[in-house]
Amino acid sequence: MNGARALIETLAECGVELCLANPGTSEMHLVQALDQVPRMRSVLALFEGVCTGAADGYGRMTGKPAATLLHLGPGLANGIANLHNARKAGTPIINLVGNHPQFHIGYDAPLTSDIDTLASNFSCWIKSCSTADTLAKDGAEAYTASLRATPGSQGQISTLILGADAAWGDSPGPSIPNGLPSRSRIDNSQAARIAEVLRSGESCVMILEHDAARPESLEQAGKIAAKTGCRIMTGTFPARVDGGAGRIDVERMPYFPEHILASFAEVKHLILVGGQTPASFFAYRTTPSRLVPEGCQVHTLARIEEDALDALNQLAELTGAEKSEARRLQRVDMGLPSGEMSMRNMLQAVAATLPENAIVATDSGPGNAAHPVCQGAAPHSWLSLTGGSIGQGSPVATGAALACPDRRVVALLGDGGAAYTIQSLWTQAREQLNVTTVIFANRKYNILNIEYGRLGVTEVGPIAESLFDIGNPEIDWTRLSESFGVPAAKATTADEFVKLLQKANATPGPFLIQAVY
């Protein structure tokens, strides 16, 4: 058995069920191993950003790492933008990056580059000196590391950069999986201090991020809110929050700094659970980076790397909230919109047609605006753009559909962001994934228009305007989609949009709707 096969068998034994691949010559022995270990599913993508974004979507839905298979430095580089988003989401992922053997590096062949420097941008665990002897063991360690919580992260990205000689050389065989790391629990005295704050009678907001925003955690937080009167809130772009009818009613932090500060205007205590002190997404000359009003104290119940659910359980007990009834979202009969493609009608159409138990993946654009409207709709899981690197939504939707074949995935994408990684449609067609993609096609980088205005620039000159304008030429999203094998249609009225959403959501396989407005 060679190193490649021992590695793939080890990862499969650890529990890795999916490999998102875009291989090249230096990964041929790994391809051979994937052929020999069919229990790990191999899914091909035309571009590495699709592999890494799909691994993120898969990991957010399963809590388990998928593997990626990437071709040396450039292959990894193409995947970094979505690995950045995955890192911010705390998603476990294992990158397998093929490399030249060590003996070949010195010849500076065309594909030679320093891969470690690239990997250090987003990885918590990197190994690039494996031999055929150690490769399987290193794979087992990569798996464990991806599930190890470390300061600032609850899951993480392992990157195993392996020389072709480690893959083709003789191996002593697969390695036995390691025990899984457990998350550290907070001290009860810490929970007691927070309980004290909550009993103060002063205005409190509990900010729930990462695992603290997962369904079980929200249940506890909802009880505590009901009992103590504190507000509960997720971050602006949480990795995953389950919402909709019957789910816990939780606020979402606004995007712009002035709105965040307004939301905290009377607040005396911010209580962090699994997250950080609120900060501005971008820096501005006129607003602070740290978004805590004067006179407001910041407390930490649990750091990102600690066990948020256990911390909330402790706090529920200490506040006597265990039997309280959390406030839940109610289904709103919003009716089907009719008439023009106004933003309001479009969002209502998405919400009204959302299938039970759907997974919603958003990116830039109006996807975020759909979130509040969908809280009165069917129960669902909501995956946001965590790291601000647009081009995440379609790959994440692809990975979520691979993880949950029984759930419909609805990808709500801006046209600017969707253009980065549109090759994901091809993988959706190839694997016949149940994804409804909505492209909100306003033909501009609208956020830049808005941000430009926020600088105080009142007259946009012709060059600046052209740099925000992606309508010249206009992208025909239905043709683009069909070219990759995904059937598609345009919606130019709300009525058409509703019909297309209903049909797409009810039909197995992928479909794309170009929402023209």
Nearer to a second copy, 262 or 283 (CB): 283
Among the listed residues 408, 116, 388, 132, the one whose alpha carbon sits nearest the alpha carbon of residue 236: 388
Interface residue with a second copy, options 5, 60, 100, 269 (CB under 8 A)? 100
**Residue 66 binds a second copy, judged by CB under 8 A:** no
Q: Does 259 bind a second copy (CB under 8 A)?
A: no
Binding segment (CB under 8 A) for a second copy, from list 45-53, 327-335, 349-357, 496-504:
45-53
Q: Binder to a second copy among 1, 17, 36, 299 (CB under 8 A)? A: 36
Q: Given the complex with a second copy, which of 72 and 218 has the nearer CB atom? A: 72
Q: Which of 285, 295, 335, 406 is the binder for a second copy (CB under 8 A)? A: 285
Q: 474-492: b or e for each residue (b if 16 or more CB lie within 10 Å)?
A: ebebbebbbebebebbbbe
Q: How far is the CB of 44 from a second copy (least distance, A)?
A: 5
> Which residue in 331, 37, 340 sits closest to 174, CA to CA?
37
Of the ranges 82-90, 170-178, 245-253, 331-339, which one interacts with a second copy (CB under 8 A)? 82-90
Interactions with a second copy, residue window 154-173 (CB under 8 A): 164-165, 168
Are 82 and 420 a contacting pair, CB within 8 Å? Answer: no
Tell me which of 3, 49, 92, 155 binds a second copy, using CB under 8 A. Answer: 49
Determine the Cα–Cα distance for residues 383 and 380; give it in Å rounded to an integer.
Answer: 10
Among 170, 282, 328, 342, binds a second copy (CB under 8 A): 282
Residue 419 contacts a second copy per CB under 8 A: yes
Give the CA distances from residue 513 to residues 427, 500, 502, in Å, rounded to whole numbers and listed in that order: 17, 7, 11
Backbone angles phi, psi at 119, to 5 degrees: -65, -30
Question: Among the candidate windows 134-142, 245-253, 319-327, 386-394, which touches a second copy by CB under 8 A?
Answer: 386-394
Question: Binding to a second copy by residue 298, rule CB under 8 A?
Answer: no
Continuous H helices in 63-106: 72-89, 102-105
As a whole number of angstroms, the distance between CA 53 and CA 41 comes to 17
| Structure tokens belonging to residue 9 | 């068998």
Smallest separation (angstroms) from a second copy to the CB of 41? 9
Residues 300-339 that bind a second copy (CB under 8 A): none
Residues 6+ apart with CB under 8 A from 424: 45, 50, 53, 54, 394, 395, 397, 398
* Tally of CB atoms within 10 A around 439: 29
Stretch that binds a second copy, among 274-282, 325-333, 344-352, 395-403 (CB under 8 A): 274-282
Site for a second copy in 105-134 (CB under 8 A): 107-111, 113-114, 117-118, 120-122
Which of these segments, 56-64, 308-316, 402-410, 426-434, binds a second copy (CB under 8 A)? 426-434
**Residue 122, amino acid:** F
Please tell me the count of residues contacting a second copy according to CB under 8 A: 102
Residues 459-498 that bind a second copy (CB under 8 A): 460-464, 466-467, 469-470, 472-480, 482-485
Element of type H or E holding 373? helix 367-374
Task: Find residue 184's DSSP bridge partners.
Answer: 306
